[in-house]
Structure 1
């Protein structure tokens, strides 16, 4: 079975989610079964198919780095490899072979190909307790090497404040009292209708609850599979108030009701016109709900780059500028070679878990660029309107007068300026300020930012002299 592109792994042994350890500690960058939430930048993994069929690389979405052995002398697995490595003779090999357990399509073991050991949970004391270790040479009877795979590629991570409308009907879902009961009806023509505002809140396993702001109550599965907004119970075991949001398109979701495993749709009977009811066994045009985020504007500030977790990749030596001159005299002399080039730097800011639904964004953030093989410098700030993932390019014209000492007579010198071009992915945290449609301002502290930059550094001169 092919794994989804994005997954979260849950340990069969301790029921915790595998997460990247971002905190400054002895196990920084380790993978540890201690995560409490599916919806997290730290638990999300990307499955990258390898060139060999049946093998994969696993990449931490938090920093875009691959799972690899900590060192040649350890079997701990960390999220630290900048590039995938398919040479199985190298300790830095990043290949894994996933296999189902008892033909269960959601339960897997992951074999570290280079070691020939299954990745398992380390059951002994801290600080390495619950960390991922490629130790199990045989199947573990206590299931410390077994993971439940959760598909988060199809999980729609709804924003906090949302409105819904069916694609085929065009009206927004609003709270509406019908025969003295709090129904949800596709009746609002304008998303600014206060009764069309709903709040989404995720619980640890990725399912969510929805609250009607009009009734100030949770959505609940009632008799006849109608969805009413009349619940207060927030206990995790109450499936009547839980939904699973399946991503259909960038802004389209299908809400599966966990109480009866049916999808919610627009439905009409003799007394309930276009009300929400969980009766579709599969996703249809009536259960495709377009999502509108109820935010007027968003500001991103307090950006903090975590360069310790940065991924540096795509390094190559490139010619930056070339120039030449000739000493036509018989005697040695100093000559000047004029070089010119355009220094190009690219930057973009993105989010690894937040859904983008077209809310106007203003961002205030510094730029960060590589200055050598592993060090960064932070320079001036960018402030202005922005769209997640948009590339900002800065250019600077550079003129250099390079002096060549005592060039032989009747000789030509060619000077080439070489540089290292590379890209980097840097996780960042930030503060998000949202202004809602009702004028209220809400603030969040977020950890799901990923900044990407490219630049040229390590400039060096190369000279070539020839007789003329």
Structure 2
């Protein structure tokens, strides 16, 4: 059943050179196993339930707004070209697929042909099999993937303290060597996220894991006998599971971290003369494992917003009655009445980007606002000011619409003033400028993971609702 699939997924393909994630070839639209980055915007696929039945779905690449389809009746390659879904099962380019889910494995059959979707290893693309047999495609629920900010502090929910790099001196070994050993541990005992000992750099891996580097030690975390310590770079490497952690989102800015080495959750633990030190030995997401993520940024500005209009998508169009007027015709012949009506609507817009965590950083933006108009998507005006990622902003707009309507002789007509309400989604790139809360330095970076959504009203017209004799 279609309902067994998450709302958004990433599909993985295993090749001799490693694991790749399905994406769209920009040049020819082919659906290929071409990306190594699990968290990249180009690999996320929206699963849209069909309207014609409960058994089929549409698959749309979110960042390019293109739907999967067979290229043509004579070409069985799977491409992502159409911006609108097509549920006509008589057409070879129908965008409906029938999914079958077994755990984290997906089998797909094209609705129009019944043929199974398979991966062509010789060419690196998806295509339709000659039969109904479909290849197993491993998928990941995209909503479970967490993309963390780069510079952060971690605050324990259970004791309200930040995680701080702190040496632990072990005197027990001095009986053997004559000298104690200092271990680079991490302890939840700081009240200041901006001190250097509380700062960490998150380094994402292509498969969704992260490595975490202490600003104070200048060393990556390493799980050793369950304790997390700062380790030398020759040991704490991307190929060492003890240096890898899987983030799981709990709420807007709360996560837990699971060690890739022992599959246990990290928590603050008091044991072996260590108090509230970071340890990966909790099989459950208990209250001791929950971490608030604080981004080490005092303010952030977004500029150089560039919309990819070629990948814009218009959807959800519906008719809305904004006013009702009446016209009388006491004469013995039909007349055409032309009039203007002033009405108000509430346009809305929002900006999202690839980070999964909302950390409360003040963000200002300079950007133009595109909305759907009668002639297509047009830029209405520019905004400059503060905003929150993912939050919808409303703005009241006053319009003047005009139209004409025929009125029969000796009649009164009741006329609905009708407009179209529609939504546009547009990918965008941008430059992000961050002011560090620890060093005061300014960091600039370019990103391509933005999605803008605008809701507007357009296409004013008169529609006769009732006619009465007078």
Q: Where does residue 384 of structure 1 map in the other structure?
A: 385
The alpha carbon displacement at 1:462 in A equals: 5.1
Say whether 1:456 aligns with 2:457.
yes
Alignment of 1:368-447 (within 5 A): 368-372=370-374, 375-399=376-400, 410=410, 412=412, 417-438=417-438, 439-447=440-448
Q: Where does residue 198 of structure 1 map in the other structure?
A: 200
| CA pair 395-217 structure 1, distance change in 2 beyond 3 A | same
Q: Is the 8 A contact 1:172 1:187 kept in 2?
A: yes
Distance across 1 between alignment mates of 2:460 and 2:441: 51
Q: CA RMSD in A?
A: 3.2
SS in structure 2 of the partner of residue 286 of structure 1: helix
Q: Is the 8 A contact 2:401 2:461 kept in 1?
A: no
| CA pair 250-71 structure 1, distance change in 2 beyond 3 A | farther
SS in structure 2 of the partner of residue 42 of structure 1: helix
The alpha carbon displacement at 1:419 in A equals: 3.2
Q: Where does residue 233 of structure 2 map in the other structure?
A: 232
Q: Where does residue 115 of structure 2 map in the other structure?
A: 117
Q: Where does residue 272 of structure 2 map in the other structure?
A: 270
SS in structure 2 of the partner of residue 117 of structure 1: coil
Matched length: 449
Q: Where does residue 158 of structure 2 map in the other structure?
A: 168
Distance across 1 between alignment mates of 2:468 and 2:264: 79
Q: Where does residue 14 of structure 2 map in the other structure?
A: 12
The alpha carbon displacement at 1:161 in A equals: 1.0
Farther off after superposition, 169-178 or 9-18 = 9-18
Query: Which deviations, in whole Å up to 9, do the C-alpha atoms of 1:353-372 show, x marking residues without a partner?
Result: 54322221111111112234
| CA pair 329-387 structure 1, distance change in 2 beyond 3 A | same
The alpha carbon displacement at 1:227 in A equals: 1.0
The alpha carbon displacement at 1:343 in A equals: 4.4
Say whether 1:44 aligns with 2:38.
no
| CA pair 392-70 structure 1, distance change in 2 beyond 3 A | farther
Distance across 1 between alignment mates of 2:356 and 2:248: 15
Say whether 1:134 aligns with 2:132.
no
Distance across 1 between alignment mates of 2:320 and 2:349: 20
Distance across 1 between alignment mates of 2:14 and 2:111: 22
Distance across 2 between alignment mates of 1:385 and 1:287: 33
Distance across 1 between alignment mates of 2:227 and 2:61: 40
Q: Where does residue 34 of structure 1 map in the other structure?
A: 34
Distance across 2 between alignment mates of 1:172 and 1:358: 16
TM-score using structure 1 length: 0.85
Farther off after superposition, 241-250 or 190-199 = 241-250
Q: Is the 8 A contact 1:200 1:210 kept in 2?
A: yes
Say whether 1:155 aligns with 2:145.
yes
Q: Is the 8 A contact 2:434 2:443 kept in 1?
A: yes
Query: Which deviations, in whole Å up to 9, do the C-alpha atoms of 1:341-383 show, x marking residues without a partner?
Result: 224432221225543222211111111122347x311121011
Say whether 1:282 aligns with 2:284.
yes
Q: Is the 8 A contact 2:187 2:276 kept in 1?
A: yes
The alpha carbon displacement at 1:188 in A equals: 0.6
Q: Is the 8 A contact 1:111 1:117 kept in 2?
A: yes
Distance across 1 between alignment mates of 2:429 and 2:336: 52
Q: Is the 8 A contact 1:303 1:428 kept in 2?
A: yes
Q: Is the 8 A contact 1:86 1:95 kept in 2?
A: no
The alpha carbon displacement at 1:115 in A equals: 2.3
The alpha carbon displacement at 1:184 in A equals: 0.9
Structure 1 stretches lacking a partner, 5+ long: none
Q: Is the 8 A contact 2:146 2:208 kept in 1?
A: no
Structure 2 stretches lacking a partner, 5+ long: 170-181
The alpha carbon displacement at 1:20 in A equals: 3.2
Distance across 1 between alignment mates of 2:405 and 2:132: 66
TM-score using structure 2 length: 0.84
SS in structure 2 of the partner of residue 16 of structure 1: strand
| CA pair 342-210 structure 1, distance change in 2 beyond 3 A | same
The alpha carbon displacement at 1:35 in A equals: 0.5
Distance across 2 between alignment mates of 1:53 and 1:335: 47
| CA pair 4-249 structure 1, distance change in 2 beyond 3 A | same
